[in-house]
Amino acid sequence: MKKLLSTFTALVALGFAGVVNAADLVVYTSQPNADAQATIDGFKAANPNVDVEWVRDGTPQIMAKLNAELAAGNPVADILLIADTVTFERMKAAGQLLAYKSPEAKNFDASLYDADGYYYSTKLITTGIMYNTQAAMKPTSWADLAKPEAKGLVTMPSPVASGAALIHAQTLAGVEGLGWDYYKDLKANGAIAAGGNGGVLKAVASGEKAYGVVVDYMPIREKAKGAPVEFVFPKEGVSAVTEPAAILSSTKHQDNAKKFIDYLLSENGQKIAAGLGYIPARNGIELPAGYPAREEIKLLPLNAADALKNSEKDVKTFSDIFGTKG
């Protein structure tokens, strides 16, 4: 039975703890609701005797809830499955994660999991450009969104509401020829930044906006359903988050938590990810329809240590440019 919580106070955290005491595993995730349910259903099919509770919200909100629980000395989650590795680097340094060497790791590139076994990437989620098919300009680069043809027609998520949006902003900020000046140009061109990726998808698909900065799977899915949208991997390259999973060091269900990690990384778990429209992290799994070949996707570099160190400053820089808090 899923539990959807959006009030992040220690009082609610303590109350929820009583509700899930009977659960065999508690998962906190930033996955969309349908994806989280599919993930849990797949795990339960392979482990029918494990009762799983799950909580879903954006990465910043999930972390606010978890941090409130940690401060109260009553963390509920066993598993954390969120957008980015930067958060896990912080938690690893704070001793909040449990090291586990999954036997499934041998099927992944070493860059996609922590060498000490503290967290594992489960997929690649890139951020690129979506546009409504009625738009006059068909963008091919990030620079196109700052052109006069896109004036007042661009929307994007805020790093305050989306972990992927923060990683994206930090990535482009480090690209020669883009940087924070690029975001200033977008603002001057009438771009807006607010909320999460779902709002961007809705605005562009409905025609309210012509262009959006958004995670790949959303418009690719909607196009397959007949929505008037296209997704572009800009020529400069794309940022990526890898939706890693980790076991909390405070887990009360260590064995089940290890089973969950193994399942996410397994061939079946990765095929479910691909079936949901994501680029699987595991080698040898076919990409979903609508994506180019993996080698055609240019990933822009990001130093996780620097991103961690600068995260608060970068959120403030972005918010100051766009004059928004979320």
Query: Is 100 part of any known ligand binding site?
Result: no
Torsion on CA atoms 110, 277, 100, 81, rounded to nearest 10: 120
Helix-helix angle 267-275:33-46, to 10 degrees: 150
262, two tokens: 């193994």
Q: Compute and round to an integer the Cα radius of gyration of the chain.
A: 19
**CB of 242 closer than 8 Å to CB of 122:** yes
> What is residue 291's three-state secondary structure?
coil
Find where tokens 């690719």 sit: 220
Residue 138 burial by CB count (10 A; 0-12/13-18/19+): exposed, middle or buried? Answer: exposed
3-state helix, strand, coil in the chain (%, to 5): 45, 15, 40
**CB of 163 closer than 8 Å to CB of 87:** yes
Residue 46 burial by CB count (10 A; 0-12/13-18/19+): exposed, middle or buried? Answer: middle
Alpha-carbon distance of 265 to 280, in angstroms, equals 9
31-44: string of b/e by CB count within 10 Å (b at 16+)? bbeebbebbbebbe
Residues making up the binding site: 217
Residues making up the binding site for Fe cation: 217
